Chains A and B, each alone.
Chain A
Amino acid sequence: MGAAPLRYYRDRQEALVTRHLDGLTLVYHRPSGMTHIVDSPLPEIMAALGVEPVEAAQLLDRLRETYDLGEEEEALAGIGLHLDSLAALGLVRIAR
């Protein structure tokens, strides 16, 4: 039996200050005091996440309501990679 899929969530809205700059998104993460410059689709993924942990597949369903994301398997793999990079930055958390 394979490992259960990871579940992701984000900090409360007050933890982040988001500003737009010429097509990019600046994120100030209050708990760490770090600034991040992120480009699409990372801001959209962060916006679709909530404080309740979800799997990448659930997040993909949410994003599909707004965006045309193409073929299922490829889109899921892409979102998984983006979630992992956001988690590495500390902007997204992985539920343990």
Chain B
Amino acid sequence: MMHALSLKIGPARFRIGSVWQEPIEQLRILYHDYPVDEHAIADFTVRLEPAGLLRRWWRPSVRIAGDHMLPDAAPMALRHGLLAAEMGMNLQMALGWRRHLLIHASSVEKDGRALIMTGESGSGKSTLAAQLGERGWRFMGDEFALLDVITGSITPFPRLVSLKNAAIDAMRSDIAEPARFGPLMKATPKGDIRHLVPPTDAIARMNEPARPALLLFPRFGFAPDIRPVGKGEVFMRLTQASTNYVALGEAGFEALHRFTDSVPAMAVDYRDGAEAIDRIESLWGDLP
């Protein structure tokens, strides 16, 4: 690969290579504050390759390749190369990481305790974590919560926040520094996307785990409501939200049982972000 970047996000080291310079340069700028060690051995390799023989120059299309691949992933336009790199890193984690139980969830921390939010795409978990990260909480990650199967704590994975559609303007009004935003990528397979660099303390403290204290199932676009979720349902939904529960076997079973048994869980329906944040702060304040 002509252009390459090595970077460490939380416990995982990636090496991203591309025949094109642009996506690597964009990553280099956005991941400027992250530890870089060109000599470290990477956990995962992500390659951005031309989708066909001529596709490097003619209507350039990017195919995401790496240690772990999905056979049917469609190529993406080069102008969305940054998104392809981010999707590639997520894919490697989802398919290949074995050192933690991976839960498809965002997480933030306060006073050494973690709030975990899980839900379908569009639930708002990513935006809520990003917003809380600007309001006195430490942002730990918007995509994967890494549950340590031995200690039961959550390890940060604070990669770039992937803002989609309306979330882009919501965060633009929160954050004054333009340098924290990546380029606006319009009409990607996931809609309009713009990446956000997490706050400085989220990056500086990315090796600091936190004890899970509250699990939320946010749901955007529904009449405001808060209700407890039964532990059986929580366990089942988390097995579905985990990308490597089956692969971890008994260790994953024991870790998820301990997590579900000890962490209170609530469903939070909301129609706007400010209202959701008030409710989350209130629930957090009520914790023992």
- Do A and B come from the same complex? yes
Q: Is the CB of A33 within 8 A of B260?
A: no
Stretch of B136-144, B186-194, B247-255 that contacts chain A: B247-255
A17 touches B254 (CB 8 A): yes
| Binary per-residue interface labels of chain B (237-276) against chain A in the complex, 1 for a CB within 8 Å, 0 otherwise | 0010000011001100110010011000000000000000
Tell whether, in the assembled complex, residue A33 and residue B235 are in contact, meaning their CB atoms are under 8 Å apart: no
Across-interface contacts of B254 in A (CB, < 8 A): 17, 19, 28
Complex Cα–Cα for A58 and B232 (A): 32
Q: Is the CB of B239 within 8 A of A35?
A: yes
Shortest Cβ distance from residue A29 to the other chain B in the assembled complex, whole angstroms = 10
CA distance A23 to B233 in the complex (A): 12
Partner of A21, one of B232, B245, B246: B232
- B180 in the interface (beta carbon within 8 A): no
A26 cross-chain contacts in B, Cβ below 8 A: 235, 253, 257
Q: B246–A33 contact, CB under 8 A?
A: yes
CA distance A17 to B235 in the complex (A): 16
With known contacts A21-B232, A22-B231, A24-B231, A33–B249 Cβ distance under 8 A: yes
User: Contacting B253 at CB < 8 Å: which of A22, A23, A24, A28?
Assistant: A28
Give the Cβ gap from A11 to chain B, nearest Cβ, in Å: 15
- Chain B residues, CB < 8 A from A81: none
Count of interface residues, chain B, beta-carbon cutoff 8 Å: 15
Q: Is B170 an interface residue (CB 8 A)?
A: no
- Of B232, B239, B261, the most chain A CB neighbours within 10 A belong to B232
B231 contacts A17, CB within 8 Å? no
Contact bitstring B201-238, A, C-beta under 8 A = 1, else 0:
00000000000000000000000000000111001100
A30, B250: Cα distance in complex, Å: 7
Query: Does B253 contact A21, Cβ atoms closer than 8 Å?
Result: no
B250 engages A17 (CB within 8 Å) = yes
Shortest B260–chain A CB gap in Å is 6
Interface contact B261-A21, CB-CB below 8 Å: yes
Contact A22 B232, beta carbon cutoff 8 Å: yes
Q: Do A21 and B250 have beta carbons less than 8 Å apart?
A: no
CB of A39 to closest CB in B, whole Å: 8
Closest-CB distance, A93 to chain B (whole angstroms): 21
Chain B residues in 8 Å Cβ range of A35 = 239, 245, 253
- Any B CB within 8 A of the CB of A88: no
CB distance from A90 to the nearest CB of B (A): 15
B253 contacts A17, C-beta separation under 8 Å: yes
Residue ID in chain A nearest B253 by CB atoms: A28
Please name 7 further chain A to chain B contacts, defined as beta carbons within 8 Å, in addition to the given A21-B260, A22-B231, sorted by A numbering: A17-B250, A22-B261, A23-B232, A30-B250, A33-B249, A35-B245, A37-B232
